[in-house]
Amino acid sequence: MATAYWSSVFTSSADQIWAHVRRFNGLPYWHPAIRASEISGDGDGLTPGAVRVLTGMDGSTYRERLVALDDADRKLTYEIVEAPLPVRCYSSTLHVQPVADTGGAFLTWHATFEPAEGSTAQEATAVLEAAYAPALAGLHTIIA
């Protein structure tokens, strides 16, 4: 299994950051590369099994399934069902933790995956981390 990872420290509290991150259907509000998100089928998008269909600014489409949403530990885990990315067997967790000495928050975005045929783990990791970085920067802009 290969991995990708990105993290950021926020001055806002973990609860404030979690309020945005936990919204499985809310990615377009803070990820600059995502134009729209719809929950496929019935449901509120907060129950494991929910599938979101994301539309990128370039018109690309991603289908992702919510695996777990843990409000007590501030963790959201999802998997890619279908996406134009050089990965397969992709599972990812966003985790928001409090920073004790500042009252801020520490957010990590960690994924495990297999590189798709024709791609190396390093190439796939670079693609994923290039998507995580502007997403967390976008989250900083809406929290500020």
Q: Which one, of 126, 117, 129, 95, lies nearest residue 22 by Cα?
A: 95
Q: What digits encode the pLDDT tens for the residues 74-132?
A: 999 999 999 999 999 999 999 999 999 999 999 999 999 999 999 999 999 999 999 99
Question: What is the distance between the alpha carbons of residues 122 and 130, in angstroms, rounded to a whole number?
Answer: 12
Q: What domain range includes position 73? A: 2-143
Direct distance between the N- and C-terminal alpha carbons of the chain, in angstroms, rounded to an integer:
36
2: amino acid identity, one letter:
A
CB 19 within 8 A of CB 97: no
The total of other beta-carbon atoms located within 10 Å of residue 57's CB is: 12
Structural domain count of the chain: 1
Q: What is the CATH number of the domain that holds 85?
A: 3.30.530.20
Q: For the whole model, what pTM was predicted?
A: 0.94
Cα dist from 5 to 38, 57, 94, 129, 132, whole Å:
26, 23, 10, 7, 8
The per-residue pLDDT for 61 is 98
> What's the pLDDT at 77?
98
pLDDT of residue 41: 77
pLDDT in tens, 33-69: 999 999 997 778 899 999 999 999 999 999 999 999 9
Q: What is the pLDDT of residues 129-144, one digit of tens each?
A: 999 999 999 999 998 7
Residue 10 has pLDDT above 90, yes or no: yes
Residue 42, pLDDT score:
75
Q: What is the pLDDT of residue 44?
A: 83
Q: What single letter denotes the amino acid at residue 27?
A: L
Contact between 84 and 60 (Cβ < 8 Å): yes
- Cα 58 from Cα 131, distance rounded (Å): 13
